[in-house]
Structure 1
Amino acid sequence: MARYSDDLGLAHVLADTADSISMSRFKALDLYVESKPDLTPVSDADTAVEKALRSTLARTRSRDGVLGEEFGVAGGTGNRQWVIDPIDGTKNFIRGVPIWGTLIALMEGDEPVVGMVSAPALGRRWWAARGLGAFAGRHQAAAQPIRVSGVRRMADASFCYSSLDGWEQTGRLASVLDLMRKTWRSRAYGDFYGYMLLAEGAVDIMIEPELMLWDMAALVPIVTEAGGSFTDLSGRNGAGGGSAVATNGQLHDDVLERLSPAGLRAL
């Protein structure tokens, strides 16, 4: 399992590079923003971060493939692939909201084995590798192990979700609203942040209906190494299902049932 230690060390180096670039552009008066074909925004910080990380990986892991949100797939001669979301939370970034971060993952085949989330505007970083545990801190030298909560009852749970319009489009909005009513507290922290709060034990459930691989790959090792569960809406483990249900593990089956078509009919 210790074979991922070097990869995790590289992930910290990549995060240092990303933090330097992104913070230099955060709240910059000359920040350049345009719309992608899917009408989501992309800033010059997004592209600059991804280019820099790709350059480092080309030097240090030339045999590994790379998948990034802004520039697609490149290289790779084996089953290892680095997955990059240069700025997760671009809408926050361009509005000056500090909840955004760089997501870096290493996948072996279809499984994320290393995850790094760095949120420099929050002064915090989260990371994990398979078999090595999950940690958080300002940097690697200030690491604290993290663990999901032990909450067992829905009535005691803190529930986190993405914006409601996406759930409306999936036909599951009624189920999400029912979860909000059944849980102790609900808040929409959004993007990577809800999952990191889950891994730290501050919230107990985080769900999103529509995601890409780069949105999730880095989150999976952190949540699971912290003792949580991470599946898609069908209950399939991992980051490849296009949706996310992350919990402390104790509540997972209950949440999946409530979000299922059968659960919706039972409302």
Structure 2
Amino acid sequence: MPVSETDIALAQRLADAAGAAIRPRFRAEYGLETKGDQSPVTLADREAEDAMRRLIIAERPMDGIQGEEYGVREGTSGRQWVLDPIDGTRAFIAGRPIFGTLIALIEDGWPVLGIIDQPILKERWLGVVGMGTTFNGAPASTRRCRELGDALLATTSPALFGDGQLHAFEHLDAQVRSTVLGGDCYNYGAVASGWLDIVVEDGLKLHDFAALVPVVEGAGGRMCDWAGDPLHAGSIGEVVAAGDPARIDDILEALECRGH
């Protein structure tokens, strides 16, 4: 079914609820722990996801939920809310406001709505299939990039790539104008606003990328996996975002050298 104004309003309220849980913990007591996969988690992550889940259960009891911290709650509507309360927990614990809350609505495995919310800077990107992306309520647009050598590339960390993928990323890195490290989901908002040209990542999970797709594509960009296929619930986590869709073939060609 099409995304409704009610869906959008609920997504906005989810972001508001997450932000209200996160802000008191920022640069304050956040209760750091290490999960089984060695990634950090804080009270802010858990409290923000809990606040969002409670809202969804109260208002959309038939919808499913998939959250980074509390897993999957099955639904019966064919719709699923995918939540990452703090994408960029390492930035959060370092007091750097370049993390974000990610909220996606997925229908039959495809992202149809996405929010990237930075609750400290109070910056919010909203993307909905069939609509233009907004940044704090105003239209957002990617920028054109005439050739790969003009591009500003970003990734969170080369340490997150597998060996073959790292080799491919380095091949791409050698062909662009400059590369920025760090940023997590904030990089994709920067692509949607025309501040960055390309983001390339490896090893992402559904909660890491589902919300990003409607945001980037609604601003005029394109997202895909490293084979050029659209991103969906079954994608393996190799992610490309390009502000200018005309550069996708150049990016994918550079990444083809993995493992060589």
* Equivalent pair of 1:2/1:132 in contact (CA under 8 Å): no
| Larger relative helix fraction | 1
- Measured at CA, do residues 94 and 149 of structure 1 come closer, stay the same or move farther in structure 2, by a change above 3 Å? same
Q: Does 1:68 align with 2:60?
A: no
Indicate the residue corresponding to 1:207 in structure 2: 200
Whether the 8 Å CA contact 1:4–1:114 is kept in 2: the answer is no
Give the Cα–Cα distance (whole angstroms) in 2 for the partners of residues 175 and 85 of structure 1.
28
2:216 pairs with 1:223: yes
1:148 is the counterpart of 2:142: yes
Alignment partners' CA distance in 2, 1:43 and 1:176? 31
Deviation at 1:104, TM superposition (A): 0.4
Asked if residue 197 in structure 1 is aligned to residue 190 in structure 2, the reply is yes
Amino acid at match of 2:254: R
Q: How far apart, in 2, do the equivalents of 1:58 and 1:2 lie?
A: 21
Secondary structure in 2 matching 1:182: coil
Query: How far has the Cα of 1:4 moved from its partner?
Result: 2.8
Residue in structure 1 matched with residue 169 of structure 2 by the alignment: 176
Number of matched pairs: 257
TM-score of the pair, normalised by structure 1: 0.92
Report if aligned partners of 2:66, 2:73 keep a CA contact under 8 Å in 1. yes
C-alpha displacement of 1:189: 3.5
Q: Give the Cα–Cα distance (whole angstroms) in 1 for the partners of residues 8 and 111 of structure 2.
A: 12
Query: Does the Cα contact within 8 Å between 2:64 and 2:80 map onto a contact in 1?
Result: yes
How far the C-alpha of 1:188 sits from its partner, in A, is 1.5
Residues 182 and 3 (structure 1 numbering): CA distance in 2 closer, same or farther, change over 3 Å?
closer
Asked if 1:166 corresponds to 2:152, the answer is: no
Runs of 4+ aligned residues of structure 1 deviating over 4 Å after TM superposition are none
171-180 or 184-193, which deviates more: 171-180
The one-letter code sitting in structure 1 at the alignment partner of 2:46 is T
1:10-65 C-alpha deviation (Å, 9 max, x unpaired): 1111111111110011111x321111110101101111111111100011111100
Unpaired segments of 5 or more residues in structure 1?
A: 138-142
d(CA) in 2 for partners of 1:149, 1:79: 35
Cα distance in 1 for residues equivalent to 2:133 and 2:2: 14
- Using the TM superposition, give the Cα deviation of residue 264 of structure 1 relative to its aligned residue in structure 2, in angstroms: 6.5
Aligned residue number for residue 151 of structure 2? 157
Other-structure match for 1:245: 240
- Paired residues of 2:224 and 2:230 also in contact (CA < 8 A): yes
Is the deviation greater in 84-93 or in 1-10? 1-10
% of aligned pairs identical?
39
Taking the aligned partners of 2:168 and 2:74, their CA distance within structure 1 comes to: 42
| Paired letter, 2:152 | S
CA RMSD of aligned residues (A): 1.5
Contact preservation (8 Å) 2:99, 2:183: no
Deviation of 1:2 after TM superposition, in Å, equals 6.3
1:166-214 Cα offsets, whole Å, 9 max, x none, are 23x2313333223222212211133101111111111111000110000
Matching residue's letter, 2:11: A
Contact 2:155 2:184 in 1 (8 A): no
Distance in 2 separating the partners of 1:224 and 1:264:
29
Any idea what the Cα deviations from partners look like across 1:93-134, whole Å, max 9, x if unmatched? 112111111100000011100101110122211111111210
Say if 1:242 and 1:2 are closer, same or farther in 2 by CA, change over 3 A. Answer: closer
